[in-house]
Amino acid sequence: MENFMEKLKSTKILGILGNALIGVGTLLPLYTVSVFGLSQSVSYIQGSDGIVVLILAIVALIMIFADKLEDKVAFFGKLKNPKLTLIPVAISALLLIISVSQVSGSGYGAFFSFGIGFWLLVIGLVAAVVYPFLYKGDANK
């Protein structure tokens, strides 16, 4: 267990995995609404918020790899701080909260259920938030 924690602290795997889950979660069903025996599943990418969250996940991944991209584009050197990835992740979390609250509060509450995309988004957001606080740098450097 201690070796596992050291691995998490020395690699970027938690940030990569978290943002990858956010990206995949936008493509899968976010929620299902059932009315009178008919059900409709909706993925997050079908709305503009989902597209923004997908773009923010890609931006966060670019920020995670900023130290590797610095020699190609000098600007990436300014993005090397892992805590900066909290900005796109926080915006993504806020957009998800707003989207879910709008749908669940629209009168479909009794017929509303979360899909696999929602749960992947939540797990990805948690992992992406924990990453900058846990990551201590690459041990191989």
Identify the CA nearest to 27 among candidates 16, 40, 41.
Answer: 41
pLDDT of residue 56: 96
Q: Residues 15-59: pLDDT tens digits?
A: 999 999 999 999 999 888 777 777 888 888 988 889 999 999 999
Contact call for residues 69 and 12 (beta carbons, < 8 A): no
Contact call for residues 78 and 71 (beta carbons, < 8 A): no
Of 66 and 25, the structure prediction assigns the larger pLDDT to 25
Contact call for residues 83 and 132 (beta carbons, < 8 A): yes
Long-range (24+ apart) CB contacts under 8 A made by 57-62 are 57/19, 57/20, 57/22, 57/23, 57/26, 57/88, 57/92, 57/124, 58/19, 58/23, 59/88, 60/15, 60/19, 60/22, 60/85, 60/88, 60/89, 60/128, 61/15, 61/16, 61/19, 61/20
Q: Which band of pLDDT confidence, cut at 50, 70 and 90, is reported for residue 139?
A: very low
Residue with tokens 């993925």: 43
Instruction: Write the CATH number of the domain with boundaries 2-134.
Output: 1.20.140
Q: Is the pTM of this model over 0.95?
A: no
Q: Is residue 132's pLDDT more than 80? A: yes
Of 70 and 53, the structure prediction assigns the larger pLDDT to 53
Contact call for residues 21 and 120 (beta carbons, < 8 A): yes
**For the chain, domain boundaries:** 2-134
Q: Residues 94-117: pLDDT tens digits?
A: 999 998 888 766 665 557 788 999
